[in-house]
């Protein structure tokens, strides 16, 4: 899948998950997708926050380029979406182009061709 298709799929999946709760990959913490807007995804974990499309897209683009990334990689490389990486990983794990799992105790995203 090319990058543009992956970005479109991410928005489609987020829209389908509106109103649902998804657990984070590492700890299963609940994140409820309250709304999906032109600006991003409104998520309620402990508080309600907007995770912007810029944040989500930055992780998708980074993963596309690197093919594999951990939460630490996102932070180390100052990826815009690193701060919301747990939710974004859970969201991307529901997309056909990404696998989100725990590898040796570390949250890891992998690009699936």
pLDDT in tens, the chain (113 residues): 999 999 999 999 999 999 999 999 888 899 999 999 999 999 999 899 999 999 999 999 999 999 999 999 999 999 999 999 999 999 999 999 999 999 888 999 999 98
Domain containing 92 — which CATH number?
Answer: 1.10.10
Q: Number of folded domains in the chain?
A: 1
Output the six-digit token pair for 26. Answer: 């590492």
Residue span of the structural domain in which 36 resides? 3-111
First and final CA of the chain: distance in angstroms? 6
Quick one: pLDDT at residue 113? 87
Output the six-digit token pair for 10. Answer: 């991410």
User: The pTM is what?
Assistant: 0.95
């Amino acid at each position: 899948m090319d990058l543009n298709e992956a970005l479109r799929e991410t928005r489609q999946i987020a829209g389908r998950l509106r109103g649902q709760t998804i657990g984070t990959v590492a700890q299963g913490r609940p994140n409820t997708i309250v709304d999906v807007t032109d600006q991003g995804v409104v998520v309620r974990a402990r508080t309600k926050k907007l995770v912007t499309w810029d944040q989500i897209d930055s992780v998708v683009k980074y993963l596309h380029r690197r093919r594999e990334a951990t939460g630490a990689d996102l932070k180390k490389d100052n990826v815009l979406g690193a701060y919301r990486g747990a939710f974004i990983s859970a969201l991307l794990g529901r997309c056909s182009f990404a696998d989100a799992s725990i590898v040796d105790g570390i949250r890891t995203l992998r690009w699936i061709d």
